[in-house]
Amino acid sequence: MFDTLSDRLTAALQTLTRKGKLSDADIDATAREIRIALLEADVALGVVKTFIAKIKERAKGAEVSQALNPAQQVIKIVNEELVGILGGETRRLNLAKTPPTVIMLAGLQGAGKTTLAGKLALWLKKQGHTPMLVACDLQRPNAVTQLQVVGERAGVVTFAPEPGNGVGDPVDVARRAIAEAKHAQHDVVVVDTAGRLGVDEELMKQAADIRDAVEPDEVLFVVDAMIGQDAVTTAQAFQDGVGFSGVVLTKLDGDARGGAALSVREVTGQPILFASNGEKLEDFDTFHPDRMASRILGMGDVLTLIEQAEQAFDQKQAEKAAEKLSSGQLTLEDFLEQMLAVRKMGPIGNLLGMLPGAGQMKDQLAQVDDKHLDKLQAIIRGMTPAEREDPKMINGSRRLRIANGSGVTVREVNDLVNRFFEARKMMAQMAGRFGF
Ligand code: GDP
């Protein structure tokens, strides 16, 4: 997925790196290349137009940055705008205040709903939830059995109509399932619904009836990323017919052009919550717009460098960090930023180097190797902004969620949090002792 788009975007942007100064004509030429790359990747025309207009406007009006050369500035803008059309911030699943949380899946047949139900169940279970699957796809032969099979693989309960009791009436099944979930104390219910090969009114009506019966906290529109432009029309039809609160992209492991991923959010205004990238239940994760954008740009390292160059130049930020450091208010976000900066630029090393007796700690910081740093970064990125701001709130269940979300063990999360508290205390003490 995205290989061609990545190659073309990289090529378009790389021609800029050889130029010392960019004229408006350079920017126009690059914008044209980007436009072609996006259209070839099947991104919806309207989305491409808006995107290109923003890139041009921002690139031409870009402030002179001391930290970045012109090409880097354009790459940064393209990256930020890509993150923007992919939804900006990572959107987490809404959980109901009073369980059970009801999640309803909707989408065309073959989109990957049933598989997703299993993936979601396993993912939720790993986070300590007790999900129950509900088989409301009573149209397709074998759909109920298929859901039961994925349910078993995920190790969760599946609610299905018993023969002769409610067979053929998905609304009734959905209602009884919710009552059963309350009774058996399942805290999340995932309702699988019927899909058709194409959008039709009966399908929409049935989905809307189920929606009204179960009052879901989330309606997830499941869409096969390989269907290209059709993804946009289908999404619009489902939004009009049923309405949804989030999107799940499936089959991102395919070698299609990926335009759906880039269009659906922008066209429907609803965020992408999850991405599925394989047939196994584990091939599934929270969708992170920033990570996806770097993947599409294929310039992870360049982007990191750009970020760090800017950080190193940001005098105000450095002063703010020093202030927070001395008052013991350093957050995990600051911690991560400083560690990243240390790797390439060394601001905290310089900062500490000014203090007598700080040498040992400077060495410690300098020893952090890249792999380790990537892991720490993944853990911190797996936290919510509130958790980064106030790591004290990271209790047992949050640790488990962070560990699952960032692919590490709970112990590694514990280590990071504990080390952060120690470091913060030590830094505050040192800063106090040396009056900085
Ligand atoms: P439903 O009709 O919407 O319930 O779709 P299914 O869950 O039955 O999925 C249709 C087909 O797509 C099945 O063969 C799945 O194994 C396959 N599938 C689902 N998700 C993915 C994915 O992320 N990647 C790949 N490669 N195949 C998937």
Residue 222 alpha carbon, nearest atom of ligand 1: 3
276 lines ligand 1 (CB under 6 A): yes
The predicted pLDDT at position 217 comes to 97
Which alpha helices (H) appear in 18-69, and where do they start and end? 24-40, 45-60
Asked if residue 132 and residue 268 are part of one domain, the reply reads: yes
Which residue's CA is the closest to the ligand 1 atom numbered 27?
A: 279
The predicted pLDDT at position 157 comes to 97
Mean pLDDT for the stretch of residues 212-230: 91
114 lines ligand 1 (CB under 6 A): yes
CATH of the domain at 379: 1.10.260.30
The predicted pLDDT at position 220 comes to 98
| Residue 295, pLDDT above cutoff 80 | no
* Interatomic CA distance for residues 372 and 375, integer angstroms: 5
Asked if residue 327 and residue 215 are part of one domain, the reply reads: no
Q: Evaluate the omega torsion of the peptide bond into residue 216 and state whether it is cis, within 30 degrees of 0.
A: no
89, 112, 127: which is the final residue of a domain?
89
* Interatomic CA distance for residues 413 and 372, integer angstroms: 13
Asked if residue 107 and residue 61 are part of one domain, the reply reads: no
Output 43 or 273, whichever has higher pLDDT: 273
* Interatomic CA distance for residues 269 and 260, integer angstroms: 14
Asked if residue 254 and residue 151 are part of one domain, the reply reads: yes
User: What whole-number percentage of the chain has pLDDT above 90?
Assistant: 42
Asked if residue 283 and residue 168 are part of one domain, the reply reads: yes
Structure tokens, 147: 């859901």
pTM, 2 dp: 0.70
Mean model confidence pLDDT for the chain: 82
Structure tokens, 383: 């936290």
294 band by pLDDT with thresholds 50, 70 and 90: confident
Residue keyed to tokens 């989030």: 246
Contact predicate 160/132, CB 8 Å: no
Asked if residue 51 and residue 72 are part of one domain, the reply reads: yes
| 240 annotated among ligand-binding-site residues | no
Which residue's CA is the closest to the ligand 1 atom numbered 10?
A: 110
57, 89, 121: which is the final residue of a domain?
89
Name every residue whose Cβ is closer than 8 Å to that of residue 357 and which is 6 or more positions away in sequence.
430, 434
345 band by pLDDT with thresholds 50, 70 and 90: very low
Residue 302 lies in a domain: no
- pLDDT, tens only, 61-80: 776 566 677 777 888 899 89
Is the C-alpha dihedral spanning 219, 223, 228, 230 positive or negative? negative
110 lines ligand 1 (CB under 6 A): yes
Residue 119 alpha carbon, nearest atom of ligand 1: 20
Q: Ligand 1 centroid to 135 CA: how many Å? A: 16
Contact predicate 105/220, CB 8 Å: yes
- pLDDT, tens only, 81-129: 999 999 999 999 999 999 999 999 999 989 999 999 999 999 999 999 9
Asked if residue 340 and residue 199 are part of one domain, the reply reads: no
The predicted pLDDT at position 358 comes to 39
Pairing state between β 246-250 and 272-276? parallel
| 109 annotated among ligand-binding-site residues | yes
- pLDDT, tens only, 356-376: 333 444 455 555 555 677 788
Residue 309 lies in a domain: no
Q: Ligand 1 centroid to 3 CA: how many Å? A: 22
Asked if residue 180 and residue 281 are part of one domain, the reply reads: yes
For the chain, the 3-state helix, strand and coil shares in percent, each to the nearest 5, are 60, 10, 30
Mean pLDDT for the stretch of residues 264-289: 91
Residue 96 lies in a domain: no
| Residue 310, pLDDT above cutoff 70 | no
Q: What is the 3-state secondary structure (H, E, C) of 61-112?
A: CCCCCCCCCHHHHHHHHHHHHHHHHCCCCCCCCCCCCCCCEEEEEECCCCCC
Say how many domains are in the chain: 3
- pLDDT, tens only, 10-28: 888 877 777 777 888 989 9
Domain span at residue 247 reads 101-287
Asked if residue 141 and residue 243 are part of one domain, the reply reads: yes
| 113 annotated among ligand-binding-site residues | yes
The predicted pLDDT at position 209 comes to 95
167 band by pLDDT with thresholds 50, 70 and 90: low
Structure tokens, 22: 């960019």
| Residue 325, pLDDT above cutoff 70 | no
Mean pLDDT for the stretch of residues 213-237: 91
341 band by pLDDT with thresholds 50, 70 and 90: low
| Residue 135, pLDDT above cutoff 50 | yes
